């Protein structure tokens, strides 16, 4: 094993994380920046956030020893087709002292590789949006959903938040008392649980409040569904179960019935202490009983590993994956 | 019967229609203007479109003989709460020579009254949006949906158009050949039925094309569902059946199970030669077997009738309704 290093970046809409690791599997540095997607932030500002994260990760290290890099982010095809963004990224890379090549890959591939080194498998992500993708030879193959909140993202945080408001509106239309979920929605959006003497007046204010804001902010209400479910509201449980069904159906669009490769669950709604993951796992296990179901981990380290495995001196990429990320846990 | 007259206005998002009728049931004049909703067009421009329609309807008539008027439009509560809009409407009314009082009522009430003089019943409307309302004593009582495209309008033209695109996206995700509906969607949005070698590229272009435009324009794709259904596409039939179920469920939110009052079907998708109406009727008839199901008619005449029935000299409003609109047809 040489003293070479690799860098990985996990670029998201709200934060960018960079990591430097040695080819022996040691974590040497880490850094963080703001949201770095050129589509939402513009090429220059996105590149600047990547520069901030990379500089911090490289502090005290010799960037000349970095042998390869991988940047994981959404919308790769759009970025690669845009010379302005590519140029901004190239300059940023050079400015922090890096002289090695780098690759830009989909955030879904990075999320997949954060959990397993298996070349073939499936990644299912539910955060603000929702997407599923087939991985073949550690590249993204077929993709399902990820169509955005207007046309898709079924079972995502946006979807959960919208269903939460729709549930409150349906109870108001029926002149029914609000349950725990409806009460949480009114408190969050109107600052009060008071329903007007004419419930339609509350409906109108609720609709106006939501439609005045950017639509995607509905994703911010997803935690209310999880909280109401924990409080025992059957309506919230029904919404979560429906989201789990939609996410599993989305995987079914791209994953063959007899596939036994791993399925990785990623995104804020499917990692950590996530009731949606608890609902999705049995739905996936029922359809693919022999598949390993595993939660996504550190995307920046996964990106660094994706960079490392292409180097000739990394003779056992699976071993390096174990050193960096640990053994793939069982279901 | 005096020689008195009444005026009615049916104000929509794209056109405004005015009618003058005699208290004997004769149609004396009609006029048309552009979209006249102050919420979407601004108070002054909306009032101007109403003035254009009213002036044409009153041409050759003595406005001093008009005894009452009714304006039907969406968003009445918002309009009545806005002094600027009310003032603009008052000035417009005076400018065309009218000296009688006028009332502003919901477009749903006008649609209801265009089909029946029965004081109690239900109105279900599906056009760009979707709304259902209970009518009690010829005023709107409880309302269901009408929550707008982001949060509701289930089964509406917007909903149909969005489902049409979602269907095409699902087939592209699955790498399935497009059926008649998917082909119509691609032709309409991309001007070609050619799917890229990587179908995901076509998915991306389709999503970008839709999201670049105002979301509500998805309603313009609703006719594609109807056309694909006529061509025998089972996917289009499934979407229409689902829309019919959502619309019937919406009525169920507000209409008691044992109600035998009439149900009026209004809006572009439920009147005329409408396959969605063909799907909704049996769903409604199954739940309310003794209810008369009747299609909406001329809103401006209905608005004029709503104005006339408040006058002391109109002793038999139901008879005037028959003279103006004809007998209520059976199911």
CATH number for the domain including B76? 3.30.420.40
**In a shared domain, residues A171 and A64:** no
Residue A215 lies in a domain: yes
**In a shared domain, residues B152 and B286:** yes
Which pLDDT tens digit goes with each residue over A203-221? Answer: 999 999 999 999 989 999 9
Residue A255 lies in a domain: yes
Report the pLDDT value the prediction gives residue B1, as an integer from 0 to 100.
45
Report the pLDDT value the prediction gives residue A330, as an integer from 0 to 100.
44
Nearest CA in chain A to B211: A150
Residue A329: is its pLDDT beyond 80? no
Give yes or no for A217 touching B (CB within 8 A).
no
Find the CB nearest B151 among A144, A162, A175. Answer: A162
How are beta strands A15-22 and A5-11 bridged, if at all?
A: antiparallel
Residue A213 lies in a domain: yes
- Measured N-to-C along each axis, helices B180-190 and B222-230 cross at an angle, to the nearest 10 degrees, of 140
**In a shared domain, residues A144 and A261:** yes
Report the pLDDT value the prediction gives residue A76, as an integer from 0 to 100.
83
Give yes or no for B143 touching A (CB within 8 A).
yes
**In a shared domain, residues B44 and B180:** no
Residue A230: is its pLDDT beyond 50? yes
Which pLDDT tens digit goes with each residue over B1-39? Answer: 457 999 999 998 789 999 999 999 999 999 999 988 887
pLDDT tier for residue A1 given thresholds of 50, 70 and 90: very low
Closest CA to B259 of B288, B295, B294: B288
Give yes or no for B197 touching A (CB within 8 A).
no
B96 is in which domain, residue-wise? 5-114+297-325
Coil, helix or strand for B135? strand
**In a shared domain, residues B142 and B10:** no
**In a shared domain, residues A141 and A40:** no
**A142/A329: higher pLDDT:** A142
Which pLDDT tens digit goes with each residue over B260-308? Answer: 999 999 999 999 888 999 999 999 999 999 999 999 999 999 999 999 9
Q: How far is residue A298's CA from residue A296's CA, in Å, rounded to a whole number?
A: 7
**In a shared domain, residues A310 and A257:** no
Residue A331 lies in a domain: no
Report the pLDDT value the prediction gives residue B74, as an integer from 0 to 100.
85
Interface-testing mutation among B78, B106, B152, B219, with chain A (most A C-beta atoms within 10 A): B152
Residue B320 lies in a domain: yes
**In a shared domain, residues A142 and A253:** yes
pLDDT tier for residue A73 given thresholds of 50, 70 and 90: very high
Residues of chain B with pLDDT under 70: 1-2, 328-331
Residue A330 lies in a domain: no
Report the pLDDT value the prediction gives residue A77, as an integer from 0 to 100.
77
Cα B288 from chain centroid (whole Å): 22
Mean pLDDT of A104-116: 96
Provide CB contacts within 8 A for A211, sequence distance 6+. Answer: B148, B150, B151
Mean pLDDT of A39-59: 92
Question: Cβ(A35)–Cβ(A17) under 8 Å?
Answer: no
Residue A33 lies in a domain: yes
> Which chain B positions have a beta carbon within 8 Å of A78's beta carbon?
204
**In a shared domain, residues B103 and B11:** yes
**In a shared domain, residues A280 and A320:** no
Residue A205 lies in a domain: yes
For chain A, what is the domain count?
A: 2
Question: What is the rounded average pLDDT for all residues in chain B?
Answer: 93
**In a shared domain, residues B153 and B76:** no
Report the pLDDT value the prediction gives residue B331, as an integer from 0 to 100.
35
Closest CA to A222 of A147, A278, A156: A156
Give yes or no for B266 touching A (CB within 8 A).
no
Is A147 within 8 Å of B207 when comparing Cβ atoms?
Answer: yes
List Cβ<8 Å contacts ≥24 apart for A189-197. Answer: A189/A165, A189/A221
Task: For residue B76, give both structure tokens.
Answer: 């009445």
Closest CA to A146 of B71, B206, B95: B206
Report the pLDDT value the prediction gives residue A81, as an integer from 0 to 100.
82
Is B166 within 8 Å of A152 when comparing Cβ atoms?
Answer: yes
pLDDT tier for residue A82 given thresholds of 50, 70 and 90: confident
Mean pLDDT of A289-317: 95
**In a shared domain, residues A147 and A282:** yes
Report the pLDDT value the prediction gives residue A331, as an integer from 0 to 100.
35
Report the pLDDT value the prediction gives residue B295, as an integer from 0 to 100.
95
């Amino acid at each position: 094993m040489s003293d070479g290093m690799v860098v990985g970046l996990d670029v998201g809409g709200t934060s960018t994380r960079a990591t430097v690791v040695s080819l022996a599997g040691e974590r040497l540095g880490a850094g963080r920046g703001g949201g770095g997607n050129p589509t939402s932030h513009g090429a220059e500002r996105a590149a600047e956030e990547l520069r901030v994260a990379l500089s911090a990760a490289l502090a005290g290290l010799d960037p000349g020893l970095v042998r390869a890099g991988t940047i994981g982010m959404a919308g790769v095809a759009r970025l690669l087709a845009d010379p302005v963004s590519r140029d901004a990224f190239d300059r940023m890379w050079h400015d922090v002292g890096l002289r090695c090549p780098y690759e830009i890959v989909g955030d879904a591939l990075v999320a997949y590789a954060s959990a397993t080194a298996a070349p073939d498998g499936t990644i299912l992500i539910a955060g603000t949006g929702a997407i599923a993708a087939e991985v073949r030879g550690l590249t993204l193959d077929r993709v399902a959903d990820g169509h955005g909140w207007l046309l898709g993202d079924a079972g995502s945080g946006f979807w959960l938040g919208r269903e939460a408001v729709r549930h409150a509106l349906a109870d108001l239309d029926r002149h029914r008392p609000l349950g725990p979920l409806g009460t949480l929605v009114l408190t969050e959006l109107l600052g009060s649980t008071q329903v007007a003497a004419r419930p339609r007046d509350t409906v109108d204010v609720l609709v106006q409040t939501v439609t005045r804001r950017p639509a995607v902010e509905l994703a911010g209400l997803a935690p209310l569904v999880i909280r109401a479910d924990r409080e025992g509201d059957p309506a919230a449980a029904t919404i979560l179960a429906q989201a789990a069904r939609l996410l599993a159906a989305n995987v079914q669009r791209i994953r063959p019935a007899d596939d036994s490769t791993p399925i990785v669950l990623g995104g804020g709604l499917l990692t950590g202490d996530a009731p949606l993951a608890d609902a999705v796992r049995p739905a996936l296990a029922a359809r693919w009983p022999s598949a390993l179901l595993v939660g996504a981990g550190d995307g920046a380290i996964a990106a660094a590993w994706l960079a490392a495995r292409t180097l000739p001196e990394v003779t056992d990429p699976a071993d390096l994956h174990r050193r960096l990320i640990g053994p793939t846990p069982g279901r």
